[in-house]
Amino acid sequence: MHRIRLEPGARTIPLEHPMEAVYYVISGMPSVPEPLTGKTHSAESGSMIFVEPRTPYEIRADAQAVEIIGGPCPPDPALYRHLDPTGTTGDTTDGQDADGGPGEVRIFHRDRPDDLMPMIAKDARLVVWAGAGSRTANMNYVNMTAGEENVPHAHSSSEDTIFILAGEGTVEDVTNGATFEITKGKVVHVPEGVVHAVKADKGSNIESVGGPAPADLQMLKQMGIEVPGE
């Protein structure tokens, strides 16, 4: 998960990944051009930008500064070649169809979810997920009210990454007997198989985005959520 800030008039470098990518717009109104199609997509605070594999794109800050979090899912090793002095960092599709053509950019919004996940919180929203057509990227929005907490759970085949947008609380690592404080701007990363629970136990709501990637389809089924094709 990357955190990117663009000043007015700035843009990312041209990007393209063999895997999916997803971003959440924390602030600003970015535009997302697709060079191959000539389309330009508009986003706003609360939007989620979903990029299908092999789709050239860039993210621009036009009239105002933009702050986003997210990135390719799974990570794209090509982005980190400048950090690898051995030159051994290579590309991976990690199960994606490398023979297919370019996809497209799609814009979602946290206020237009497909379904809710009550074991996470009363207001836990599925936005970019398997039901919306993603295969590996996943971006949920959660507004946990003060006093709420997750049902303790683990993801057997997914890593869970959560960015805290607002509020404070704790996250319990049940498997290893540890508890960590979380506040605005912190990122929680949970490895596969670790039982954990986020708790709004500091007197404030906790707003967050993220989720298990790839999506934990088994957990969705246990919550009674229909997953297309499953």
For residues 104 and 121, state if they share a domain. Answer: no
pTM over 0.85: yes
Q: Is the confidence at residue 93, as pLDDT, over 80?
A: no
**Nearest Cα residue to 136 out of 48, 222, 71:** 71
**DSSP sequence for 175-205:** TTTEEEEEETT-EEEE-TT--EEEE--SSS-
Asked if the structure places residue 81 within a domain, the reply is yes
Last residue of a domain, one of 109, 142, 174: 109
pLDDT for 95: 43
Q: Is the confidence at residue 94, as pLDDT, over 60?
A: no
As beta bridge partners, residue 142 has 124, 208
Average pLDDT, the chain: 93
For residues 121 and 210, state if they share a domain. Answer: yes
Q: Is the confidence at residue 39, as pLDDT, over 60?
A: yes
Residue 198, token pair as written in the block: 């986020």
For residues 97 and 127, state if they share a domain. Answer: no
One-letter amino acid identity for 71? G
pLDDT per position as a tens digit, 48-79: 999 999 999 999 999 999 999 999 999 999 99
pLDDT for 203: 97
**DSSP sequence for the chain:** -EEEEE-TT-BPPPB--SSEEEEEEEES--EEEETTTTEEEE--TTEEEEE-TT--B--B--SS-EEEEEEEES--GGGGGGG-TT-------TTS-TTS----EEEEETTS-SEE-TTT-TTEEEEESGGGT-SS--EEEEEEPTT-BPPPB--TT-EEEEEEEE-EEEEEETTTTEEEEEETT-EEEE-TT--EEEE--SSS-EEEEEEEES--HHHHHHTT---TT-
Asked if the structure places residue 228 within a domain, the reply is no
For residues 72 and 150, state if they share a domain. Answer: no
For residues 93 and 134, state if they share a domain. Answer: no
> How many domains are there within the chain?
2
For residues 132 and 199, state if they share a domain. Answer: yes
Last residue of a domain, one of 92, 109, 126: 109
pLDDT for 102: 86
Contacts of 85 (CB under 8 A, 6+ apart): none
Q: Is the confidence at residue 91, as pLDDT, over 70?
A: no
pLDDT classification of 120: cutoffs 50, 70, 90: very high
For residues 46 and 96, state if they share a domain. Answer: yes
Residue 97, token pair as written in the block: 């169809």
For residues 197 and 139, state if they share a domain. Answer: yes
Q: At 120, which CATH number?
A: 2.60.120.10
Q: Is the confidence at residue 89, as pLDDT, over 70?
A: no
For residues 19 and 46, state if they share a domain. Answer: yes
Average pLDDT over residues 82-109: 69
The phi and psi torsions of 156 (rounded to 5 degrees) equal: -70, -30
Last residue of a domain, one of 75, 109, 143: 109
Q: Is the confidence at residue 5, as pLDDT, over 50?
A: yes
Edge-to-edge, what's the strand order for the sheet holding 139-144? Answer: 115-116, 124-128, 139-144, 206-213, 159-166, 187-190
For residues 119 and 211, state if they share a domain. Answer: yes
For residues 142 and 212, state if they share a domain. Answer: yes
Domain, as residue range, for 86: 2-109
For residues 84 and 129, state if they share a domain. Answer: no
pLDDT per position as a tens digit, 168-226: 999 999 999 999 999 999 999 999 999 999 999 999 999 999 999 998 999 999 889 98
pLDDT for 87: 60
